Homo-oligomer: A and B are copies of this chain.
Amino acid sequence: MYEDPKEVRALIRRGELVRPTAGLAPGYAQANLVVLPTDIAFDFLLFCQRNPKPCPVLEVTEPGRYEPALVACGADLRVDVPLYRVYRNGKLVAEERDVAGYWNDDLVCFLLGCSFTFESALIKAAIPLRHIEEGKNVAMYVTNIETKPAGIFAGPIVVSMRPIHELKVVRSVQITSRFPMAHGAPLYIGDPERIGIKNMKHPDYGDYVEIKEDEVPVFWACGVTPQAVAVTSKPPLMITHSPGHMFITDILDEELAAL
């Protein structure tokens, strides 16, 4: 069960599946959602174009539209995500099961690729991921690497960290390089201090996982970056998915592969 993305979205729309989406509709790409007013949509699209590793754009709807016709024909981005967050002027003001009541003709939806796509590719290639084995959220850290700003949007890149066995590091670069629309190749490999991470045991988001002696910390650009940057820019209204409660597309992970 929960195999078909259209059926899963229908359950979510009816409020029968309010849960994190990891593991649902396996093989299909999931997406981060960011909804913004039209007058800053160009700046945000430009921000994504300049920062493709943290912000790989899968689809952008035109102003007022809530159907992502290219990646999930018939879907409704106001109701097909299990849980939403609503921000006003950069402050979280509500968590909602649907956001139809917030909708107006001035809103633009952005769907951005999600790390689930490359994680399942790593697992298929016998590269285990500790946070999944331990049922945790991936560890995420704010770095000292700045995004390339665009209009009102600027701020540091957030990375996710996965401990990789030292003999599998090269392979993990190769595998994730195939998926530029899901953050792609690692941003950095090695000493966390070089990218401004002082204390690995206290991630800025998510849960800490141990790094064993024969493992290397490998850092990928993270889908939290655009949300964190959008929050600091204090748009009058911004709607996103709640962490882990992603939008499920009809696109196979393998359809996103560059090669």
- Residues in chain A within 8 A of chain B (CB atoms): 38, 41-42, 45-46, 49-50, 57, 59-60, 62, 70, 148, 150-151, 177, 180, 258-259
Contacts and interface: CB of A to CB of B under 8 A. Distances in A.
B49 A46 contact: no
Contact of A57 (B41, B42, B49, B259): B49
Nearest to A42: B42
Contacts of A50: 59-60, 70
A60 B70 contact: no
Given A41-B42, A46-B60, 5 more contacts: A38-B42, A45-B49, A62-B151, A258-B258, A259-B259
A46 B45 contact: yes
A258 B151 CA distance: 27
A259 B177 contact: yes
Contacts of A60: 46, 49-50
A46 B70 contact: no
Contacts of A57: 49
20 contacts: A38-B42, A41-B42, A42-B42, A42-B45, A45-B45, A45-B46, A45-B49, A49-B49, A49-B57, A49-B60, A50-B59, A50-B60, A50-B70, A62-B151, A70-B148, A177-B258, A177-B259, A180-B258, A258-B259, A259-B259
